[in-house]
Amino acid sequence: MAEGRILVVDDELSMREVLDITLGREGYDVTLADGGEAALRALDEMTFDLVVTDLRMRGVDGLGVLRAVKERAPGTAVVMLTAFASTDSAVEAMKLGAYDYVTKPFKLDELQLTIAGALERKRLREENQTLRRQLQRDRGLARFVGRSRPMLEVFETIRKIADSASNVMITGETGTGKELVAQAIHHESPRARGPFVSVNCGAIPEGVMESELFGHVKGSFTGAVSDTRGLFAAADGGTLFLDEITEIAPSVQVKLLRAIQERSIRRVGETRDVRVDVRLIAASNRDVAGAVTDGALREDLFYRLNVIPIHLPPLRDRRDDIPLLVHHFLQKLARDTGKDIRGISPEALAVLERHRWPGNVRELENAIERAIVLGAGPTLNADALPAELLRPAAVRDVTLEIPPEGLDLEATLESIEQRLIQAALERSGGVQTRAAELLKMSFRQFRYKLQKRGADEAPRAK
């Protein structure tokens, strides 16, 4: 049976009755209006998937009904009926947005096919709009999870800069989501309908980087068997994301700088320039200013790309977001794997919150995916987590890097010791004998270190 709510508008009773019976048999929900004025009242009271209206009527005619439909409900399809076929009226109706134009007298099966086509086009249009909205959510800011202050600042920056054409430099450790931010900027911008082209500069050999970026013409070098557009041309009207920008060879950096300044490119082997409209977003997990100092990145190119800097904090600096991210990945991965996972145990969440996550959000997602695949039952428990997360925080949590200004070794070691003691107490639920066992020391040693740090808890043994 067909589905859809149809408003039939005609000032002839016989025509209304025929269409009411015919469309009703097909399964449509039919409402009748004996003229334009009645149709306007019906449009004010409810919504319709389709309006079938006579063109020539007393008072408000079919074109008036058509205009009212497009004003009140632009997505509603309209089919016009008339016994006075004329090119002018047909063209006028189509200009105003009518789906089709049927001349009286007509065959009922012809009208039924026209109605079915109008409703099918409306359904496809709505489906496409839904998919576009979903795609926008999946690629825009709605894709991000976080409420920590550092991430809220990143979100606000994205909103502020999305409408501009300024180049952006995104920095942050591996796994923090630099490409996701680049995609969000693109999909929140007026360039959203244009292409988003991504390239990892560190994965392309120096000898072919120029050709990859700018394209080449056939015969310009050995192996150039055909013309290629290049990534700049592919991103024309959209956004080009240059990941690991510091890995581009200096010789190519010069030509990249020229392309930015001139807003044009020249393919390898060609003598003429081609204009391109591209927004550049660059990214690096290195200290970009340090890369300039070291000579890995040209200073003038750095300033051209670093118009709007965005720094993504590591996950260890936004621990408030870990529970949100965990539940987000649980829902997403459970859906992807088809497993019935409804939550996570407090013990497992505590383990995830304690870890330093050197691989950041990407490492967290991988850990949860592994736990979901290997675990059993509707709750993700600690024993399903990767083994390295379950070991007491030890050397794996120590940052073996000396900052430029140096460090106080004794104070650093004391801080590490205090963190390990606190982690052991949390793991043991406050049972000090168990905490001492976790740290491979005697209870007397453990109690001494507690007293040393000013703890006044009475020891509790089992």
Q: Count CB atoms within 10 A of the CB of residue 25.
A: 11
* Equal CATH topology for 5-134 and 145-313: yes
List the structure tokens of 201.
Answer: 């500069």
Q: Are 171 and 157 in contact (CB under 8 A)?
A: no
SS3 458: coil
CATH T-level fold of 316-390: Helicase, Ruva Protein; domain 3 (1.10.8)
Q: What is the pLDDT of residue 332?
A: 87
Q: What is the pLDDT of residue 338?
A: 84
Q: What is the pLDDT of residue 394?
A: 46
Q: Are 232 and 239 in contact (CB under 8 A)?
A: no
Considering just the CA atoms, what is the radius of gyration of the chain in Å? 33
Q: Are 292 and 303 in contact (CB under 8 A)?
A: no
Q: Specify the DSSP element, H or E, that contains 422.
A: helix 409-427
- Residue 380 CA, distance from chain mean position: 26
Encode the chain (462 residues) as per-residue pLDDT tens digits.
Answer: 567 899 999 999 999 999 999 999 889 999 999 999 999 999 988 889 999 999 888 889 889 999 999 888 888 999 988 876 565 676 788 888 889 888 888 888 888 899 999 998 888 888 776 665 555 544 556 678 888 999 999 999 999 999 999 999 999 999 999 999 999 999 889 998 899 999 999 888 887 888 889 988 787 776 676 778 889 999 999 999 999 999 998 889 999 999 999 999 988 888 788 899 999 999 999 889 889 998 999 999 999 999 999 999 999 999 989 999 999 999 888 888 888 888 899 988 988 998 889 899 999 999 999 999 888 888 988 888 888 887 655 444 455 567 777 778 888 888 888 888 888 888 787 888 888 888 887 777 888 888 877 643 444 444
Q: Are 53 and 39 in contact (CB under 8 A)?
A: yes
Of the candidate CATH numbers 3.30.300.30, 3.40.50.300, 3.30.200.20, 3.40.1350.10, the domain formed by 145-313 belongs to 3.40.50.300
Q: Count CB atoms within 10 A of the CB of residue 93.
A: 22
**Rounded distance between C-alpha atoms, residue 423 and residue 21, angstroms:** 76
Q: According to the CATH classification, is domain 397-452 in 3.10.20.30?
A: no
- The pTM assigned to this predicted structure is 0.59
Every domain of the chain and the residues it spans: 5-134, 145-313, 316-390, 397-452
Q: Count CB atoms within 10 A of the CB of residue 436.
A: 24
Q: What is the pLDDT of residue 167?
A: 96
CATH T-level fold of 5-134: Rossmann fold (3.40.50)
